[in-house]
Amino acid sequence: MNVQEEAIGKSSAFGRLLGLEIIKAEKGEALLRLSMHDGLRNLHGKLHGGALFSLIDTAMGQASHSLFDGAPGSVTLECKINYIRPVSDGDILCRAWVVHAGRRTQVIEAEVHQGEKLVAKAQSTFACL
Q: What CATH number has the domain bearing residue 80?
A: 3.10.129.10
Low-confidence ranges of the chain (pLDDT < 50): 1-5, 8
Compute the distance between CA of residue 28 and CA of residue 100 in angstroms, rounded to an integer: 10
pTM of the model: 0.91
pLDDT at 69: 86
Instruction: Note down the domain range covering 19.
Output: 3-128
> CA 82 → CA 9, 56, 120, distances in Å?
27, 11, 5
Q: What is the pLDDT of residue 10?
A: 58
Model pLDDT, residue 70: 82
Domain count for the chain, please give it: 1
